[in-house]
Amino acid sequence: MLRVLGPQLSTRSTDNPVIFTLPNLGPFMSLRLPPSTSTRTTTRAAAATNTVTVPPAGLSKGDTGPKVKQLQDALVKLGYLTAKQVATGPGTFGAQTETAVKKFQADKKLPTTGYYGEQTQAALKKALSGTPTTPTTPTTPGTKPAVISAPSPNSDSRNGADIDTIVMHHTASNDGKADLSWMRNPKSGVSAHYMVDRDGKIYQLVGDDKRAWHAGKSELHGVPTDVNARSIGIEIVNDGSGKTPFTEAQYKALTELTSHLKEKYDVPMKNIVGHADVAVPKGRKNDPAPNFDWARLRKGIS
């Protein structure tokens, strides 16, 4: 406690710290007092409030609980949701939260599924830490090569899975027209996202956002998983014998297409594989073929 006898105490008030000036006690003297306990407590509380926890991946519309609230808090901090919006359903993954996730995914060049998966979680961590989530050059994925639309009914939902793999196949024939017709036939039960014909023309059968039926029972790097749900499938017109060469036009088109997909979906090089690498049991498939030049493709997309 400060006790002053004599002349009236005058003060100059500031928010922090508080300075008391006693003008008539000899030489000019000021006493600087530390901020009050309540001020320090408020400061610590504010700092704690600004701390946002990034929840684990695996959240989607309809989920509820504290993990959803953590996601909402992160989206509020980044400006994709408002506190008022969250107040209408804290901890509930509803339409507003899904829309916010999609906007965030679009900004980070991720598939706009609205599903909070591993890629979205990684991007959220980087965004909150202030680390850029996409390269500054180029700012958009490599140009997608020209494709010919040839829709196939053979697809279904990815169920929110992020795209992180590209699988190469051979069509088991050298007749692109027949191969295309087969993959568009509902009775075949097979499809791929793209087919690269002998002349280098690229056909798109299934949208990237859909799950094509190309990998069958599969694993990735020895771990059983639904490869179809997380991958883009590319069929290359070739009989797969190891004797029929892949054409120059095919390598050129395949390099352009794979480069675009790799950059757009941030696919690691190790996840650009052949059907032979993921098919279960091992040896069930030999795609894209023993004579496929992997070194050439990887050099072109690195």
- Residues designated catalytic: 235
User: Cβ(101)–Cβ(127) under 8 Å?
Assistant: no
Rounded to a whole number of angstroms, the distance between the first and last alpha carbons of the chain is 71
C-alpha dist (Å) from residue 80 to 50, 77, 110, 147, 175: 16, 8, 15, 34, 49
Indicate the residue type of 202.
I
Which H or E run includes 21?
A: strand 18-22
The H-or-E segment that residue 127 falls in is: helix 118-129
Q: In sequence order, what are the beta bridge partners of 204?
A: 149, 194
Beta bridge partners of 187: none
CA distance 66 to 74: 12
Q: Are strands 223-224 and 155-157 parallel, antiparallel or unpaired?
A: unpaired
Amino acid at position 269, single letter = M
C-alpha distances (whole Å) from 163 to each of 20, 132, 268 are: 65, 20, 11
Cα separation of 125 and 5, whole Å?
A: 59
DSSP secondary structure letters along 204-267 = E-S-TTEEES-S-SBEETTEE--HHHHEEEEEE----SSSSPPPHHHHHHHHHHHHHHHHHHT-
Q: Which residue is associated with the tokens 């359903």? A: 89
